Chains A and B, each alone.
Chain A
Amino acid sequence: MEKFNTVVSTVVPLPISDVDTDQIIPARFLKATTREGFGDNLFRDWRYDTDGNPKADFVLNNSEYSGEILVAGKNFGSGSSREHAAWAIYDYGFKVVVSSFFADIFKNNSLNNGLLPVQVSEEFLESIFEKVEADKSTKLKVDLVAQTISIEGTDLSESFEIGSYKKTCLLNGYDDIDYILDNKDKILEYEKNSIKF
């Protein structure tokens, strides 16, 4: 996993709530056996028509919007546990997803892939959408060490939560498997003492 550094970037706004992982990456694109290349089919059915032509009204097809931060409506990433959703978003080039609410499994999957989910208040989310609508070059700054997200050029800022363990993992680019394997003696100890019938 890559180390996570502070991100300062313009944003791609997706003001739709309840975006489920079937929309992020439809099931028919889950047939690969590697982790790469899912970005091509990110939001496939919203992004392309049935003939594979880009739909002009979808934000990823609007060249005026770009950046490493995806900002989406409430309850992002619900539904299927497919980690392919996080892979697709990361593969496309996003480093951060901002929403006022994330589905649990999606949040875990993102953190396990160096993609930072930042949960903000409904009001802050609305302010981001408003500012970006008024000026597409609006930038956000996401500082993981300080756990803050701010809208550049304004005094609007909020802090966000993340567990201390996951934060350390992201900042250092290491993952759960490394950590648990360092504790292997505890696993063996647990197995010795666990309930058996």
Chain B
Amino acid sequence: MGKTLFEKVWENHVVSSVDESTDILYIDNHFIHEVTSPQAFAGLEKRGIGVLRPEKTVATPDHNVPTINQHLPIREALSAKQVSKLTENCEKYGVNLYGLQHPYHGIVHIIGPELGITQPGMTIVCGDSHTSTHGAFGTIAFGIGTSEVEEVLATQCLLQSKPKTMKIQIDGELAKGVLSKDIILYIISQISSSGGTGYFVEYCGSAIRSLSMEARMTICNMSIEMGARGGMIAPDQTTFDYVEGREFAPQGESFNNAVAYWKTLFSDDDAVFDKELYYKAEDIEPMVTYGTNPGMGIKVTGTIPELSEITETGKKSFMKSLDYMGFKPGESLYGKSVDWVFIGSCTNARIEDLRMVAEFIKGKKKAEGVNVLVIPGSKQVEKQAIEEGIDKVLEEAGFKLREPGCSACLGMNEDKVPRGEYCISTSNRNFEGRQGPGARTILASPLMAAAAAITGKITDIRELV
């Protein structure tokens, strides 16, 4: 019997088996940030042990850093403390840190791929659920808790039970104005925010093959939003071309050897998945979410479900959610005004996203009264955006390109959406209070967000491109 991509990579990393369902897995790369690592280092200290392979961990502060004046000390005391703790711990244990102002600083899931640290066939973990992003390269990448961060620091291994496998195949061609963000929002709306729990997903099909690496990362990034442990895409020429020449990628002869190995990383024709789902790209339209979990998504031309369409046990949560959002069953979101537009996060703050936004808004002006936050995913994205004149295009439209970080994706820094206000956001979570206490989040693609920034309303991007 053939093997799935997931099984091939998993088996390559088993150090030993623990029980019928649990293995000790070797971890090739470990990313850490300021919020979920301090207690892990404290744990090492308590045990009196060190970091086994410090060169395999990379650190960056991203979650609570300000996105203006990063050259100044962080004003908020607790955030400043977490960032200085990270610096201290990295120095003490010899871990590589890309701190604020470093040319490689940025959101952890953006810098790994752009530096070539993320490569096909690896195991990658981080104390952050969107580690699934790296799966776009054909890696097993997933988020872990702080005890597990400590475990990886101490042993470079992780005890894990093997998830089930799911194949999601999307064939066909996407319509103009429909992006990979719409693909993933569509899938999650079909299977719900828990439909992938217990599974590791492989995305495949002609619609996936035709996507750039950036677009693939957006899809894998949101695997966790259907509850999946992670998502991966078999590496192909697009992947190899992306990795080639990056700072930490294998070079020259080693690169050729690596590619030869990476080419073996695909699911065999007779491989068996525990579950298979098939979708057509033609059925996918620009998406928006109306509720408080990412599974509550509809086509921009669609309507919120009627109460009668919701299962008996789900009614209470459904109404609680709509109440929070200020929407009614059966309503359409099309034409509703927004107060904020957030273009950023590890889902959609790569250079390709900013390019797309800039190309669309060029020569247009921001709608009166709308607040727009454009946050590059990393220092490198910021630099490239400036080199390409994207910052100027944004300024002419009335926006400003800020400095990199997670920002209003989770509102741990000053960038928050005020209570009760609506924000169309390119991030990945519309949970209650995610973008600030009482904030109301509508998830969408970068083009849909840019369109709303110009019109001040939820707009169908297809009418404008």
Q: Mark A residues whose CB is within 8 Å of B.
A: 15-18, 20, 22-23, 26-28, 30-35, 45, 50, 73-75, 78-84, 86, 101-105, 108-109, 112-113, 122, 126, 163-166, 175-177, 179-181, 183-184, 186-187, 190-191, 194-195, 197
**B431 touching A180, Cβ below 8 Å:** no
Q: How far is the CA of A73 from the CA of B313 in the complex (A)?
A: 9
Residues of B bordering A, CB below 8 Å = 12, 15-16, 18-22, 24, 26, 35-36, 38-39, 42, 47, 49, 52, 63-64, 78-79, 81-82, 85, 121, 127-129, 142-148, 150-151, 154-159, 161, 163, 193-194, 197-198, 224-225, 227, 229, 250, 254-255, 257-258, 261, 293, 295, 313-314, 316-317, 320, 410-412, 419, 429, 431-434, 437-438
Question: Which residues of A sit under 8 angstroms from B147, Cβ to Cβ?
Answer: 83, 109, 112-113, 175-176
B411 contacts which chain A residues (CB < 8 A)? 27-28
Contact sample, A vs B, 22 pairs, CB 8 Å cutoff: A16-B317, A22-B434, A26-B437, A28-B411, A28-B412, A32-B78, A33-B42, A34-B38, A45-B432, A75-B194, A81-B128, A81-B144, A82-B35, A83-B146, A163-B19, A164-B19, A166-B22, A181-B154, A186-B24, A187-B26, A187-B157, A197-B261
Chain A hits for B438, CB < 8 A: 50
- Complex formed: what's the CA distance from A100 to B405 in Å? 36
Closest chain A CB from B399 CB (angstroms):
25
Interface centre among B143, B146, B257, B438 (most CB of A within 10 A): B146
Do B431 and A23 have beta carbons less than 8 Å apart?
yes
B157 shortest CB reach to chain A, Å: 5
**A141 to B: closest C-beta gap in Å:** 25
Instruction: Give the CA-CA distance A82 to B39 in the complex, in Å.
Output: 12
- Report the tally of A-B residue pairs with Cβ distances under 8 A: 195
**Most chain A CB within a 10 A radius of its CB, from B20, B194, B411:** B194
Task: Tell whether, in the assembled complex, residue B18 and residue A33 are in contact, meaning their CB atoms are under 8 Å apart.
Answer: no
Contact between chains at B36 and A197 (CB < 8 Å): no
Distance to closest chain B CB from A180 (angstroms):
4
Contact A18-B157, Cβ < 8 Å, known A165-B19, A177-B151: no
The 8 Å CB contact of A183, one of B24, B49, B148, B419, is B24
Chain A min CB distance to B248 (Å): 12
Neighbour of B18 across the interface among A75, A179, A191, CB < 8 A: A179
Known: A81-B143, A103-B197. A197 touches B16 (CB 8 A): no
Task: Evaluate contact between B293 and A78: CB separation under 8 angstroms.
Answer: yes
Task: Tell me which residues across on chain B come within 8 A of A80, comparing CB atoms.
Answer: 128-129, 410, 429
Q: Which residues of A contact B227 (CB under 8 A)?
A: 75, 78, 103-104
Residues on the B chain within 8 Å of A31, using CB = 35, 64, 78-79, 81-82, 412
Q: Which residues of B contact A126 (CB under 8 A)?
A: 313
Q: Which of A27, A81, A186 touches B127 (beta carbons < 8 Å)?
A: A81
Q: What's the least CB distance linking B201 to chain A, in Å?
A: 12
Q: Which residues of B are found within 8 Å of A104, using beta-carbon distances?
A: 163, 197-198, 227, 229
* B142 / chain A contacts, CB cutoff of 8 Å: 105
Closest A residue by C-beta to B229: A104
Bound CA span A26–B431, Å: 10
Q: Is the CB of B36 within 8 A of A82?
A: yes
Bound complex: CA of A180 vs CA of B15, how far in Å?
10
User: In the bound complex, how far is the Cα of B127 from the Cα of A105, in angstroms?
Assistant: 10
State in angstroms the CA–CA spacing of A101 and B411 once bound together.
28
Question: How far apart are the CA atoms of A160 and B293 in the complex, in Å?
Answer: 28
**16 extra interface residue pairs, beta carbon distance < 8 Å, beyond A82-B35, A164-B20:** A20-B429, A27-B412, A30-B412, A34-B42, A74-B194, A79-B431, A83-B145, A84-B146, A103-B197, A108-B145, A109-B145, A163-B161, A176-B151, A176-B159, A180-B159, A197-B257
The 7 closest A-B pairs by CB, nearest first: A83-B145, A109-B145, A31-B78, A81-B143, A33-B38, A112-B147, A75-B194
Contacts of B148 in A (CB 8 A): 108-109, 112, 176
In the complex, A6→B20 CA distance in Å? 25
Contact between A78 and B146, CB atoms less than 8 A apart? no
- A105 to B121 CA separation, bound complex (whole angstroms): 22
Find A81's partner among B36, B159, B197, B437 (CB 8 Å cutoff).
Answer: B36
Pick the contact of A45: B20, B121, B146, B437 (CB < 8 A).
B437
With A and B bound together, what is the CA distance between A122 and B194 in angstroms?
Answer: 15
CA distance A187 to B15 in the complex (A): 6
For A109, what are the chain B residues with a Cβ–Cβ distance below 8 Å?
A: 145-148
A33 touches which of B39, B128, B151 (Cβ 8 Å): B39
Closest chain B CB from A72 CB (angstroms): 11
Docked CA distance A40–B138 (Å): 41
Residue of B nearest to A22 (CB): B431
Contact B316–A15 (Cβ < 8 Å): yes
Chain A residues near B24 (CB, 8 Å)? 180, 183, 186-187
Task: Give the distance in Å from the alpha carbon of A186 to the alpha carbon of B158 in the complex.
Answer: 13
Q: Are A75 and B193 in contact (CB under 8 A)?
A: yes
- Least Cβ distance of B384 to chain A in Å? 28
Q: Which residue of B lies closest to A109 (CB)?
A: B145
Contacts of A181 in B (CB 8 A): 49, 154-155
Contact A86 B145 (CB under 8 A): yes
Contacts of A33 in B (CB 8 A): 38-39, 42, 81-82, 85
Complex Cα–Cα for A83 and B150 (A): 12
Residue A22 contacts which of B35, B42, B128, B433 (CB distance < 8 angstroms)? B433
How far apart sit A103 and B164, CA to CA, in the bound complex (Å)? Answer: 14
Q: Is the CB of B293 within 8 A of A180?
A: no
Task: Tell me which of A74, A75, A197 has the highest count of chain B C-beta atoms within 10 A of its own C-beta.
Answer: A197
Collect the chain B residues with CB atoms within 8 Å of residue A103's CB: 194, 197, 227
B26 x A18 contact (CB < 8 A): no
A165 touches B26 (CB 8 A): no
With a cutoff of 8 Å between Cβ atoms, the chain A residues found around residue B26 in the complex are 187, 190-191, 194
In the complex, the answer to whether B155 meets A177 with C-beta atoms within 8 Å is yes
CA distance A57 to B163 in the complex (A): 39
